Structure 1
Amino acid sequence: MANLVAVKWLGESEETSANRREQASLSEGEITPLDPDSECRAKHGWANINKGRSLVDRLVEEDSLKPYAVDESIIMATCTQTQVALAPSVTLNTRDTAQRQLSETSSASESSDSFDEARQMSPFRKVAVIIQLSGVNFASSAVNGLVVVSLPTITADIKLDPSLAFWPTSVSNLANASTILLAGSLADSIGPRTVNLAGSIVTGAFILASGASKTGPQLVVMRALQGVGYAMHLASSVAIVTSTLPRGRPRNFAFSCLGLSQPLGFSFGLVIGGVLQDLLGWRAGWYIYGSLTLVLSAVATWALPKSLYGRTFWGTLRNCKERVDWVGALLASAFMALLSYLFAICGTVALSFGVTTAMELFSSLFFQEVQHLSALQTGLRIIPSLVVGVILNFTTGLFVDRVPALWLVTGSSVICSISPLLMAAIKVQSPYWTNAFIAQLLSPVSTDVLFTVGLIIISDNFPDDTQALAGAVFNTASQFGQALVLGIMQIVSTVVTKDNSGKSMPMAVMEGLRASFWTMFGLMMVCTLWGAVGLRKTGKVGLKRD
Structure 2
Amino acid sequence: MTTTSLPSSAVQAPPRRLTGRLRLTLAVLLVAQFMLAVDFSILNVALPAIGDDLGFSLSGLQWIATAFALCAAGFTLFFGRIGDLIGRKRIFLGSLALLGAASLAGGLAPTPEILIVARIAQGLATAAATPAGLALLTTSFPEGPLRQKALGLNGALMSAGFTAGAVLGGVLTDVLSWRWAFFINVPVALAVLLVAPAVIAESRPAVRPRLDLPGALSVTLGLLGVVYGLTQAGEHGWTHPLALAGLVAGIVLLGLFFLIERRAAQPLVPLNVLRKPTVAWGNLIGLLAFVTETSLVYLLTLYLQKTLGFTALAAGLSFGVLGLGTVAGGLLAPKVIARTSTVAVLVGGGVLQAVSTAALLLLGDTSASMGLLLPATFLGGVGNMLVIVGFMVTATTGLPDREQGLATGLASMSQQIGITMGTPIMSAIVTAATAGVATGAAVLHGVTVAIAVNAALVLLGVLLAALFLRGRRGA
TM over 0.5: same fold?
Answer: yes
Aligned twin of 1:413: 350
CA–CA distance in structure 2, aligned partners of residues 230 and 116 of structure 1: 31
**Partner deviation per Cα, 1:157-205 (whole Å, 9 max, x = no partner):** 5565555665544553432221111112111111111011112122232
Aligned twin of 1:25: none
Match among 92, 97, 115 for residue 10 of structure 2: 115
Amino acid at match of 1:224: I
Aligned twin of 2:263: none
Report 1:109-148 matches (<5 A). 110-111=5-6, 115-116=10-11, 123-148=19-44
1:526 aligns with 2:460: yes
Aligned twin of 1:326: 213
1:338 aligns with 2:275: no
**Partner deviation per Cα, 1:431-457 (whole Å, 9 max, x = no partner):** 253332133213323431233222222
CA–CA distance in structure 2, aligned partners of residues 360 and 112 of structure 1: 38
CA–CA distance in structure 1, aligned partners of residues 193 and 375 of structure 2: 38
Match among 152, 177, 190 for residue 294 of structure 1: 190
Shift of 1:529: 2.2
Aligned twin of 2:378: 441
CA–CA distance in structure 2, aligned partners of residues 221 and 533 of structure 1: 45
Match among 250, 255, 258 for residue 151 of structure 2: 255
Aligned twin of 1:5: none
Amino acid at match of 1:360: V
Contact 1:264 1:390 in 2 (8 A): yes
Aligned twin of 1:44: none
CA–CA distance in structure 1, aligned partners of residues 428 and 218 of structure 2: 27
3-state DSSP of counterpart to 1:246: coil
Report 1:300-379 matches (<5 A). 300-306=196-202, 319=208, 322-344=209-231, 350-379=287-316
Gaps of 5+ in 1: 1-99, 311-315
Q: Which has more radius of gyration?
A: 1
Q: Which has the higher contact order (CA 8 A, sep 6+)?
A: 2
Report 1:346-495 matches (<5 A). 350-495=287-432
CA–CA distance in structure 2, aligned partners of residues 488 and 214 of structure 1: 33
Aligned twin of 1:48: none
Gaps of 5+ in 2: 234-246, 252-283
TM-score where L is the length of structure 2: 0.79
Distance 1:161 1:367, change over 3 A: farther
Aligned twin of 2:448: 514
Contact 1:356 1:447 in 2 (8 A): yes
Shift of 1:327: 1.4
Distance 1:487 1:221, change over 3 A: farther
Aligned length: 424
Match among 229, 240, 261 for residue 136 of structure 2: 240
CA–CA distance in structure 2, aligned partners of residues 139 and 309 of structure 1: 28
Distance 1:416 1:150, change over 3 A: farther
3-state DSSP of counterpart to 2:407: helix
CA–CA distance in structure 1, aligned partners of residues 110 and 150 of structure 2: 39
Contact 1:337 1:345 in 2 (8 A): no
Shift of 1:376: 3.0
CA–CA distance in structure 2, aligned partners of residues 113 and 284 of structure 1: 38
Amino acid at match of 1:180: T
CA–CA distance in structure 1, aligned partners of residues 13 and 49 of structure 2: 47
CA–CA distance in structure 1, aligned partners of residues 63 and 382 of structure 2: 26
Distance 1:415 1:432, change over 3 A: same
Provide the identity percentage. 23
3-state DSSP of counterpart to 2:365: coil
Shift of 1:467: 0.8
3-state DSSP of counterpart to 2:124: helix
CA–CA distance in structure 1, aligned partners of residues 183 and 353 of structure 2: 34
Report 1:172-183 matches (<5 A). 172-183=68-79
Aligned twin of 1:229: 125
CA–CA distance in structure 1, aligned partners of residues 470 and 200 of structure 2: 38
Contact 1:118 1:245 in 2 (8 A): no
3-state DSSP of counterpart to 1:351: helix
Aligned twin of 1:535: 469
Q: Give the number of the structure whose residues are more often strand, by fraction.
A: 1
CA–CA distance in structure 1, aligned partners of residues 48 and 37 of structure 2: 19
Contact 2:351 2:459 in 1 (8 A): yes
RMSD, matched Cα: 3.0
